[in-house]
């Protein structure tokens, strides 16, 4: 096939030889280069996160930790929490039994009875009690479940009695240097096909599920999804390729053709008749004419633009496709005329992330989207377990807020949420699974930003400036002072006796808060852009300055601050986080911009640590590390919460080999974009 074992060898080396400094505190040496990898996302729409019951007009969606049941117009019928891991990896629907099989990552297999779509219930489950394994997908054939289990290969379970599932066997897949990572399965005519992102597609004889017999490995690096119809296998490759293989003889598969799109990740493929529907990350849907499989035809007009199509399901007539879209959630597309595809309906998943804070081993994320599902807006709490250097994002709890949640700051066991016109919500997070609003206080203006510091909470209150709240008694907070600023206060950061307010077009405002009941305006400076966020390090204020990018202000003299430097970050700078001598800028539509601020007067972009996202990055948190592996968190709007791993990697010599590294914290799973 197209990809040789040498290619796989290089991919493995590139994935494993990653040196990760604790939040960029190590100095880069001449023998090292910077890399950045996706290290987790919530929600994560994997290959098979949708399923369809065409007879009853039902759509099933894996939405983070929930199974959501929708009607054919994508109106929500009900939802059921089916996992504590925060992720449903994949779904399989058995129409005769009205059973949904959900691969729930580290939480095992859940079997849900959806006979009554308004009242789904757990009918059974399977979880390996001896090993901790991740389940990414499941395919059920003749009451046998075949589950893609990451590094553990394939797990095969008898599910004929959902209440009494039985382990049958497992397959340790062969791979280069013993490394495999199974992410998708498909069974056809007693043959099992497994997509392995390291090695390709494995074919095994499963006529006896208790004694599977491996037959063949198709060396296709980065295989993400596999689909079989008739004698033809379609393998989606993360490199952007669709590999079409004749498997009339599984022992001697032959390549028929390849459809390749450069620069995009191919996530899923579904077939209806002579038409292939191919989903691409960050690009949407391509439709191919495969009446001649040796030459798949893609007309330029046969595309549906979306922010991603990570899973695809088709209705019975093949005239409607359902795709999971990074920003919208789930879309229903009219595909009867591939040259004129249009959206019929959409369901917005509760994933929007506007701002965040991290405290201990938990991330606190607020969603400010007011749409047709306001019940999804509020504060979400995620535990941050790490497996193979990837944040798993286990959803711990949620509480709805009455307003439009804009910002969050956590101090101790209390989260303070700037809730727009509803002021500040004081939320107890002692029980992470059941956060509870303890008190609410109306602020003088619209609560846009919040900073908690001991018994005081400082609120960027829009047109009203800065509000100061006494929270020494969290059950009875009191607004003790308000000081007007000339602009629109959107964010505040407190350091020592001073509050620094990002005041929009008015720039940076410095306020003495040593006497909280009597704050005094000390100094101000109009920045070249629109001040949206601010952080302090030593005698400098670093301002996320909207269209102007990053503005550095010398605040040694608080009464007369002076601009030291300005750097165009490429996007609209919304917020900033600083660790060591590196500033991480939330750059709106451009995602993450990273800047070396070792010399504040001459900030320099670190292009290797930039990261373009699918959404709109409005907030960022740096400085979180586990076992010397550093992580960044981005609030990316509709696509949700993203974790990144910035790292230093040893350069390779002229022979293509790594020169070695003193430590390693990377793993191939980091490449699962």
Choice between 266 and 205, residue whose per-residue pLDDT is larger: 205
- Looking at the DSSP bridge assignments, the partners of residue 213 are 205
The percent of residues in the chain predicted with pLDDT above 70, rounded, is 89
The answer to whether 36 and 611 have CB atoms below 8 angstroms apart is: yes
Locus of tokens 């013993």: 178
Please choose, from the candidates 140, 219, 208, the residue with its C-alpha nearest in 3D space to the C-alpha of residue 173.
219
Contact 438, 426 (CB under 8 A): yes
What is the spatial distance between Cα 441 and Cα 427, in angstroms, rounded to a whole number? 12
pLDDT at 27 over 70: no
CA-angle at 202, arms to 196 and 207, nearest 5° = 135
Burial readout 96-106 (b: 16 or more C-beta within 10 A, e: otherwise): ebbbbbbbbbb
* pLDDT (mean) for 266-272: 92
Q: Give strand pairing partners of 323.
A: 312, 331
Residue 243, pLDDT > 60, answer: yes
The model's confidence at residue 663, banded by pLDDT at 50, 70 and 90, is very low
Q: Cα separation of 437 and 401, whole Å? A: 8
Tell me which of 46 and 172 has the higher pLDDT. 172
What 3-state class would DSSP assign to 547?
coil
Q: Is the pLDDT of residue 456 over 70?
A: yes
Q: How confident is the model at residue 265 (pLDDT cuts 50, 70, 90)?
A: confident
What was the pLDDT predicted at 239?
A: 87
pLDDT-based confidence at residue 18 (cuts at 50, 70, 90): very low
How confident is the model at residue 44, as a pLDDT?
A: 59
**Mean pLDDT value across residues 536-543:** 97
Contact 76, 51 (CB under 8 A): no
User: What is the reported pLDDT for 255?
Assistant: 92
Indicate the Cα dihedral angle 486, 488, 491, 494, nearest 10°.
20
Sign (positive/negative) of CA torsion 336, 342, 346, 350? Answer: positive
Alpha carbons 435 and 397: distance in angstroms, whole number: 7
Are the beta carbons of 244 and 257 closer than 8 angstroms? yes
Backbone torsion region of residue 586, taken as left when φ is above 0, otherwise alpha when ψ lies between -120 and 50, otherwise beta: beta
| Contact of 139 with 193, CB cutoff 8 Å | no
Query: What is residue 346's predicted lDDT score, i.e. its pLDDT?
Result: 87
Beta strands 508-512 and 520-525: pairing type? antiparallel
Residue-wise pLDDT for 29-85, tens only, equals 556 788 898 888 877 544 456 889 999 999 999 877 789 999 999 998 998 988 876
Contact 487, 504 (CB under 8 A): yes
Task: For residues 281-300, give the mean pLDDT.
Answer: 90
Rg, Å, the chain Cα set: 26
Strand (E) or helix (H) holding 169: strand 166-171
CA 594/CA 2 separation, integer angstroms: 37
Closest to 624 (Cα-Cα) out of 579, 587, 671, 661 = 579
Which parts of 556-636 are beta strand (E)?
562-567, 575-579, 582-586, 592-596, 604-605, 619-626, 629-635
Residues contacting 515, CB < 8 A, separation 6+: none
* pLDDT tier at 614, thresholds 50, 70, 90: confident
What the block records as the tokens of 163 is: 């209440």
**Is residue 672 scored above 80 in pLDDT?**
no
Q: How far is it, in rounded angstroms, from Cα 225 to Cα 242?
A: 10
Judged against a pLDDT cut of 60, whether residue 592 lies above it is answered with yes
Q: Tens digit of pLDDT for each residue in 84-125?
A: 766 788 999 999 999 999 999 888 999 999 999 999 999 999
d(CA 452, CA 155): 48
Taking 70 as the threshold, does the pLDDT of residue 15 lie above it? no
Cβ-based neighbour number of residue 599 at 10 Å: 12
Which residue is listed with tokens 């292939």? 276
Return the SS3 of 405: coil
Comparing 446-455, 560-569, 649-658, the range with the smallest average pLDDT is 649-658
* Pair of tokens at residue 252: 């001697």
Q: Which of these, 151, 158, 60, lies nearest to 102 by C-alpha position? A: 60
pLDDT given for residue 652 in this prediction: 52
* Cis check: omega of the bond before 490, within 30 degrees of 0: no
Length of the chain: 673
DSSP state of 602: S
- pLDDT, residue 651, reads 58
- In the prediction, which pLDDT does 48 show? 52
DSSP three-state, residue 340:
helix
Of residues 377 and 93, the one with the higher pLDDT is 93
Greater pLDDT, 131 or 344? 344
In this model, does residue 628 exceed pLDDT 80?
yes
Distance in angstroms (rounded) separating the CA atoms of residues 371 and 312:
25
| 283: nearest Cα among 264, 260, 300, 262 | 264
**Statement: residue 661 has pLDDT above 70:** no
- pLDDT at 10 > cutoff 60: no
**Cα gap 327→205, rounded to integer Å:** 40
């Amino acid at each position: 096939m197209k990809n040789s074992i040498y290619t796989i060898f290089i991919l493995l080396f590139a994935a494993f030889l990653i040196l990760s400094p604790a939040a960029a505190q190590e100095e880069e040496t001449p023998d090292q280069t910077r890399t950045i990898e996706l290290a987790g996302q919530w929600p994560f729409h994997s290959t098979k996160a949708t399923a369809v019951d065409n007879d009853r007009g039902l759509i099933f969606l894996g939405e983070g930790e929930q199974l959501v049941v929708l009607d054919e117009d994508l109106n929500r019928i009900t939802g059921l929490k089916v996992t504590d891991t925060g992720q449903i990896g994949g779904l399989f629907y058995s129409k005769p039994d009205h059973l949904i099989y959900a691969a729930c990552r580290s939480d095992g297999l859940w079997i849900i009875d959806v006979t009554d779509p308004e009242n789904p219930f757990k009918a059974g489950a399977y979880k390996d009690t001896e090993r901790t394994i991740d389940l990414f997908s499941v395919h059920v054939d003749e009451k046998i479940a075949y589950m893609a289990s990451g590094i553990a290969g394939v797990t095969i379970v008898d599910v004929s009695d959902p209440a009494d599932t039985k382990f049958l066997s497992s397959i340790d897949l062969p791979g280069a240097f013993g490394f495999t990572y199974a992410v998708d399965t498909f069974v056809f005519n007693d043959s099992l096909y497994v997509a392995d992102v390291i090695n390709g597609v494995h074919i095994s004889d499963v006529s006896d599920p208790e004694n599977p017999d491996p037959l063949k490995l198709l060396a296709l690096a980065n295989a993400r999804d596999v689909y079989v119809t008739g004698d033809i296998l379609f393998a989606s490759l993360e490199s952007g390729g669709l590999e079409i293989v004749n498997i009339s003889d599984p022992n001697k598969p032959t390549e028929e053709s390849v459809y390749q799109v450069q620069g995009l990740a191919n996530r899923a493929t579904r077939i209806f008749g002579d038409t292939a529907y191919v989903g691409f990350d960050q690009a949407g849907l391509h439709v191919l004419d495969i009446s001649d499989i040796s030459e798949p035809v893609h007309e330029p007009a046969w595309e549906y633009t979306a922010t991603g199509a990570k899973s695809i399901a088709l209705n019975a007539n093949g005239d409607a496709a359902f795709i999971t879209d990074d920003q919208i959630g789930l879309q229903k597309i009219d595909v009867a005329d591939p040259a004129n595809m249009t959206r019929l309906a959409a369901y917005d998943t509760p994933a929007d992330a506007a701002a965040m804070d991290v405290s201990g081993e938990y991330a606190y994320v607020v969603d400010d989207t007011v749409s047709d599902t306001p019940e999804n807006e509020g504060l979400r709490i995620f535990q941050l377990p790490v497996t193979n250097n990837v944040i798993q994002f286990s959803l711990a709890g949620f509480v709805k807020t009455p307003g439009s949640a804009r910002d969050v700051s956590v101090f101790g066991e209390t989260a303070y949420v700037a809730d727009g016109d509803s002021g500040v919500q004081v939320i107890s997070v002692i029980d992470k699974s059941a956060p509870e609003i303890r008190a609410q206080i109306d602020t003088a203006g619209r609560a846009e930003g919040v900073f908690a510091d001991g018994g005081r909470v400082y609120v960027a209150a829009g047109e009203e400036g800065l509000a100061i709240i006494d929270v020494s008694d969290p059950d009875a907070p009191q607004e003790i002072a308000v000081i007007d600023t000339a602009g629109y206060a959107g964010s505040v950061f407190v350091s020592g006796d001073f509050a620094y307010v990002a005041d929009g077009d008015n720039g940076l405002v410095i306020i003495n808060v040593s006497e909280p009941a009597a704050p005094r305006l000390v100094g101000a400076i109009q920045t070249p852009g629109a001040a949206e966020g601010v952080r302090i390090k030593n005698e400098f204020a670093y301002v996320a300055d909207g269209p102007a990018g990053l503005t550095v202000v010398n605040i040694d003299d608080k009464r007369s601050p002076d601009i030291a430097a300005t750097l165009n970050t490429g996007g609209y700078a919304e917020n900033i986080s600083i660790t060591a001598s590196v500033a991480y800028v939330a750059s709106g539509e451009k995602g993450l911009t990273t800047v070396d601020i070792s010399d504040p007067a001459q900030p320099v972009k670190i292009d290797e640590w930039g990261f373009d996202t699918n959404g709109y990055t409005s907030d960022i948190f740096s400085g979180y590390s586990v076992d010397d592996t550093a992580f960044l968190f981005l609030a990316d709007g509709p696509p949700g919460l993203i974790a990144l791993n910035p790292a230093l990697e040893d350069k390779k010599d002229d022979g293509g080999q790594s020169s070695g590294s003193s430590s390693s914290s990377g793993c191939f799973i980091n490449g699962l974009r």
